[in-house]
Amino acid sequence: MADKTQQRTVYLVTGGCGFLGERIVELLSQQDYVKEVRVFDSVARQEVEKFTTATTHVTVMKGDIRDYNLLLAAMRGAHVVIHTAAIVDCKNTVPFWEMRAVNVGGTENVLRACCVLNVPYVVYTGSIAAVGPNTACEPMIRGNEDTKYNGEVELPYGKTKAMAEKLVFEANGKKLLLNTCFSPPLFSPGNVAWMHVLAARNLQLKPDLLAGQVYYAYDDTPTTKGFLIRHQLLSSMDPSVRLGSHIPYWKMWLMIQVHRIIKVILYPFWKPQPFLNLPLLHTIVTTFSYETDKASRHFGYKPLFTWEETWLG
């Protein structure tokens, strides 16, 4: 086998035209060890091919990860797969069966195709929603990748991501070497993408250390950003909300129930905009905090972008 440090590799990124996937493709195209980046996406925006460089070619392929044969064809000849494709839905606007078909069934197809084609390295993009909060709204304080947190996940989206994650763990070591990157929503997408790129590279160089591991994404984004995001979310539904104000739980619960009743009565004549739901409300009010340096210890990860570059432009 050729020296892994010298071999120029072919990557396939599912969902490579998405919010996170596109940033992964851009960063991969800048690495001198990457020969080609294939983008497999149901949207297939050809402008992503602009990331092609003198040494790395970027190819966009249109396809749905539910279509096993298309996925198999796109993956042929690839060495590494970064699987980011998923339906992300925290407001329950997508039927659960459809979300499960993409997030779980699509992941099954990716793993199956990798086994058939002997593509040994897979990095799977998880979600913190697959961890919690649970239906009991139990908090997690300063947890890490090894912290035990039990109970049924509340968000339907989180349920599908937890199912897919289980498939990934079960497949590790069976012709495949896999690891998982969780992407909490407050952190820089550029830094989350960079962690994927480093994890995929080091999974090839240090498989005994990285295979089967989970890594939480982290950077120097201030925790106060979370308050600003919650303010934006809630003020869009109630203009009277001001920074520093307190909204009683019962008021939010009542607003959600009234919205649900109106939606049922007026359907199908009027379809109101997606609204805050109880699982998402419980996610907002449940404390979930993390403290980890595992990615730094295992493969030398350091944030590539400052939070000012990401959030302030």
For residue 65, the one-letter residue type is: I
Residue from 11, 121, 157, 216 carrying the catalytic annotation? 157
C-alpha pair distances (Å), 219 with each of 11, 146, 288, 293, 301: 25, 19, 16, 10, 10
**Residue whose C-alpha is closest to residue 295's, from 212, 198, 169:** 198
Catalytic: 121?
no
What contacts 280, CB < 8 A, 6 or more positions away? Answer: 90, 91, 155
Structural contact between residues 17 and 11, judged by C-beta atoms closer than 8 angstroms: no
List residues with catalytic annotation. 157
